[in-house]
Amino acid sequence: MTATDGGPAPPGADPAVPIGGHAPAGLAERSRAPRLRTVQALARAEAFLLARSLLVLAGLVAGGLLIWLLIHPVQPLWWNAAWEIGDGQLALAIGVLVAAQLATGRARRNAMGDLYTSFPATAGTRTLAHLAGLLGAVPASLLLIAAATVVVQARGAIGAPGIAVLAGGLLLVIAAGAAGIAIGTRFPHPLAGLLGALALFLSSTLFQGGIIWLLPWEIKQDDLGELPSPLAGYPPADAHVVELAGIAVLAGVVALAVTVRGGRAWGGLATAGILAVAVICLAGAAQLRPIPTTDLNHLIAEVADPASVQRCTTADQVRYCLYPGFGRDLPSLEAPVSEVLAHLPARPDQPLTIRQVVSVDFTQPALTDPTLTHGHSKRQEAQWNAQLRREERFLNAAALAIYLPVGSWPAAGAQLADAHFAMALGAAEWAVHLPPATGGLYSSVFLPCVPLNQAREAIAIWLAILATHPPAGELQGGLHSRGYSIGAWVRSTVVPTWAYPGAQYLVSSGPPITAAGYLLANAMTSLPEQKVARVLKDAWGRWLNWRTTDTQLAAALGIPMPGLPAFLKPHPRRGVSIAPPPSNERDPLCTT
């Protein structure tokens, strides 16, 4: 029950005139009160009811949850986080849309239209009050923005929040509410509101390419989280704010057009509607403009030639190269690497480079967002692709490196611990001379070699465990990832592999890890550290040889070689095909 639909009379609202018009003098005086006062009073009550609506509160909770799920596993970058806060506002907007439609359509839904027609407040006045009452959703939206901003900032966000993007989220909520009112005035059935909410939700994933910015809010087709710095016009936030404002006005006009009577009012509404449509079209055209070539050239240069813009720091024979603004990650990156180096009997001759890379792939539009290159000529795109391919060859020919995708390094918590382990394992693989994976960052062919039955693999895992001390349960869980056992084909046999924690935070840091290697390393952690270190130090060169087997290492340590659990045996229902793939799809053995 809402104030305009039969709820308690709001303070200041005009009471009904009795039938026949024989009202007392005082009552008749009050009934001539300005219409604006009635609208204000009703709007105040509507705003209050909307603010405490269960649907709006549910949307607020869902929005907060969604924002947290989106921002907590990744590095907080403001040019990405601001848009993800808008994703949360989309959940709130859905709740507001349904609540507004239910409130507006209740009079007709309950067949009380005649009763409300007898009230002094006309249908148009009530609709205007409903529209003004949307201000009741503003506190929830602002609360969501404020809470998310505090959380993102507390997690050490890089960059600065975009005011236009944050304001766009607020306008999205208001526009959705206005759309709900427009739907409710024409279609009182609750299903209409639900369908409107579903349309709003489903539209967010409907299109690809430059057109995505025309949608009220797209939630998964962008590459914002992978950019090393904000890119002007990506997203076109200012134009999008104007578009959302235009949609809100247009929805309000439609709602009033259904309920307002009178030629003069219709003229005003038609003018406002035409203006709103014009604004939406202009804003849409502005959003469809391609990103300036100079800005994209700069981005391609940052991607293809990171050394030209990155700042490098060398410590303990390891070179850390990070994009400007990411320097605060340096201590977090150094910590696991330094721990591994501290446990090494001898350091390799070749230096190690840890470098940030941009994983946006401009060359495969089906896989990534073509919005970046939208509107540019094929020739221009071909030039950019050629530039990227040139630099990819350079990267492959370079010294051993661990590639760290921009935006992937977590801020804190269990994700950071996993990323530390992955980084330590990458450094340990470099230390025991395990070769890096072959293939390029943008290559579809990715054939890493497998260190099958090689002692150096178990040593690398042991070093990483020693450096970061991950939970044993998490390590054990890598043997059967999400119920599937995983494996790689080497020659004509399936080799069960181990999915180590944090693998998703790095790009091609090294070869896949075998389950046998992990089990031996796990057994090594049960031995005194000094004993293992002495065995390794005594024959370090021998252990680095790819021909030295796990069994030899176990014998040297005086422990039995752990056997593979039964569930790791290849079986079609466990996700590993028992039919060998073609020879060119099998992984080679690491022999260097």
Partner 1 sequence: MHRRNAARIAATTVSSDQAKPSPKVLVTPRSPDIPRTEGAPPAPGQPIRHAQRPRLAWLRPLPLLARHITRTMPWVTLITGCLAGTAYLAIMAHVAGTSHSPLGQGSVRLAFLPAVAALAFVPRAWFRPVTQATPVPAWVGPAGHILLAAPVLAVTCWAQLRLMAHTIPSDTPGPPPAIYPVIAQLTGWCAVTVAAAACVDRSRYTDLGGAIAAAVSFAAIALAWYAPITSRFLTEPYATAHGVTVAWYAIATAALALTCAAMRDQWHRYTRDLYRLSSLQSKPS
Give the interface with partner 1 as residue ranges (CB under 8 A): 55, 58, 98, 102, 110, 189-191, 193-195, 198-199, 202, 206-208, 366, 482-484, 573, 575
For 289, other C-beta atoms within 10 Å of its C-beta total 13
194 vs 277, which CB is nearer to partner 1? 194
Nearest approach in angstroms of CB 197 to partner 1 is 9
What is the torsional sign of CA 518, 523, 524, 526? Answer: positive
Of 398, 421, 380, the closest CA to residue 521 belongs to 421
- C-alpha dist (Å) from residue 426 to 310, 421, 529: 21, 9, 21
Least distance between partner 1 and beta carbon 205 (Å): 8
| Residue from 256, 261, 260 nearest 276 by CA | 256
Dig out the tokens for 246 from the structure: 């235009």
Nearer to partner 1, 64 or 436 (CB): 64
Which DSSP string corresponds to 423-486?
HHHHHHHHHTTPPPPPS-TT-S-----B-TT-HHHHHHHHHHHHHH---HHHHHHTTEETTEE-
Closest separation between CB of residue 483 and partner 1, Å? 6
CB 207 to partner 1: min, Å: 7
Nearer to partner 1 (CB atom), residue 473 or residue 528? 473
Smaller CB separation from partner 1, 196 or 225:
196
Q: What are the C-alpha distances in Å from 490 to residues 452, 532, 564, 584?
A: 8, 29, 17, 11
Closer CB to partner 1, 379 or 573, in the complex: 573
- For the CB of residue 345, give the shortest distance to partner 1 in the complex, in Å: 41
CB of 282 vs partner 1, minimal distance in Å: 25
**Residue-wise over 472-487: b if at least 16 C-beta within 10 A, else e?**
eeebeebbbeeeebbb
Contact between residue 53 and residue 134 where contact means Cβ atoms under 8 Å apart: no
* In the complex, minimum distance from the CB of residue 194 to partner 1, in angstroms, rounded to a whole number: 5
- Between strands 401-405 and 352-357, the pairing is parallel
Instruction: Choose between 3 and 460: whose C-beta lies nearer to partner 1.
Output: 3
> To the nearest whole angstrom, how small is the minimum distance from the Cβ of residue 429 to partner 1?
29
Residue 58 or residue 277: which is nearer to partner 1 going by CB? Answer: 58
Nearest to 310 by CA among 298, 293, 327, 335: 327
Q: Closest distance between partner 1 and the C-beta of residue 572, in Å?
A: 11
Q: Minimal distance in Å, beta carbon 365 to partner 1?
A: 9
The span from the CA of 435 to the CA of 78, in Å, is 36
Instruction: Count the residues in the chain.
Output: 592
For partner 1, the closer CB: 199 or 288: 199
Kindly tell me which of 132 and 211 has the beta carbon lying closer to partner 1: 211
Buried b (16+ CB within 10 A) or exposed e, 344-383: beeeeeeebbbbbbbbbbbbebeebbbbbbbeeeeeebee
Nearer to partner 1, 187 or 500 (CB): 187
Say if residue 9 is exposed, middle or buried (CB neighbours under 10 Å; 0-12, 13-18, 19+).
Answer: middle
